[in-house]
Amino acid sequence: MFSISTLVDVVRIPPSLFGTTLKKAGVNILKEKYESMINADLGYIIMILDAKVDEMGKMIAGDGGTFHKVEFEALTFYPKLQEIVQGEIVDITDFGAFVRIGPTDALLHLSQVMDDYLKSDVKSGMILANQSGRTLKVGSALRARITAVSLGKAAAMGKIGITCRQPFLGAEDWIVEEIKKAGGDKEEPAKEAKVEAS
């Protein structure tokens, strides 16, 4: 889930940035420190949006820089368990596929694609289903549910697991088929009949 978080920190503005505005210097320092970082509480910090830097800073003996309290807003992405996400397959492996969701990739293991015998063809970049004939390939858009999230210190890049083994999940054309099977297309003739009658 994307959100905007408000954070507070202290930034050190080095003498080399004294000629720029406090806000510009503060934002540049915050971008270097926080962007592309993973935080166990906030998730993926994508970008710094805005910052308010206190004009009154502090100096420490022996350090030529100034230290300023700063309050800033950051765009974050925190994947939540059971959340439904849209994604695009970016890589096929022997054990499944990596799906781009937001700023990161999630693992869709072969066992979590569907109830069918699956074969992963890495050379052609496809996952093939034996009985249904359905396929997934690099570039396929799909809908999935998040089943595992690990953003702690042990997972430097973060680990996310997803599944498509539930109704109305998977590739877009699979979902359309499921809606038709569930009776979603029975309403169409009724709407047409009303239009003709009036």
Residue 167 belongs to domain with CATH number: 2.40.50.140
Identify the residue whose tokens are 């970082």.
37
Domain boundary among 11, 44, 77: 77
CA distances from 43 to 74, 102, 109 (A): 11, 11, 22
Q: Which domain holds residue 123?
A: 84-181
Confidence of residue 1 (pLDDT cuts 50, 70, 90): confident
pLDDT number for residue 161: 93
pLDDT number for residue 38: 87
DSSP string, 167-193: TT-EEHHHHHHHHHHTTTTTHHHHHHH
Q: What is the mean pLDDT of residues 83-103?
A: 92
pLDDT averaged over every residue in the chain = 85
Q: Are residues 177 and 88 in the same domain?
A: yes
Q: Are residues 101 and 168 in the same domain?
A: yes
pLDDT number for residue 182: 81
Q: Are residues 62 and 92 in the same domain?
A: no
Q: Are residues 139 and 164 in the same domain?
A: yes
Identify the residue whose tokens are 């350090």.
63
pLDDT number for residue 87: 93
Residue 99 has pLDDT above 60, yes or no: yes
Q: Are residues 99 and 51 in the same domain?
A: no
The verdict on residue 194 lying in a domain is: no
| Residue that wins the pLDDT comparison between 191 and 156 | 156
The verdict on residue 96 lying in a domain is: yes
Q: Are residues 91 and 127 in the same domain?
A: yes
Token pair of 16, please?
């080399």
Q: What is the pLDDT of residues 104-156, one digit of tens each?
A: 899 999 889 888 888 888 888 888 888 888 888 899 999 999 999 887 654 45
Q: Which amino acid is at 54?
A: D
Residue 185 has pLDDT above 80, yes or no: no
Distance between CA 186 and CA 135 in Å, rounded? Answer: 27
| Residue that wins the pLDDT comparison between 35 and 191 | 35
Q: Which amino acid is at 56?
A: M
Residue 190 has pLDDT above 70, yes or no: no
Distance between CA 132 and CA 147 in Å, rounded? Answer: 24
Number of domains in the chain: 2
Q: What is the mean pLDDT of residues 174-197?
A: 63
Q: What is the mean pLDDT of residues 68-82?
A: 93
Task: Count CA atoms within 13 Å of residue 128 on its CB side.
Answer: 9
Other Cβ atoms within 10 Å of 56 Cβ, number: 7
Q: Which amino acid is at 110?
A: L
Write the CB contacts of 61 (distance below 8 Å, at least 6 apart in sequence). none
The verdict on residue 196 lying in a domain is: no
Is this model's pTM higher than 0.75 or not? no
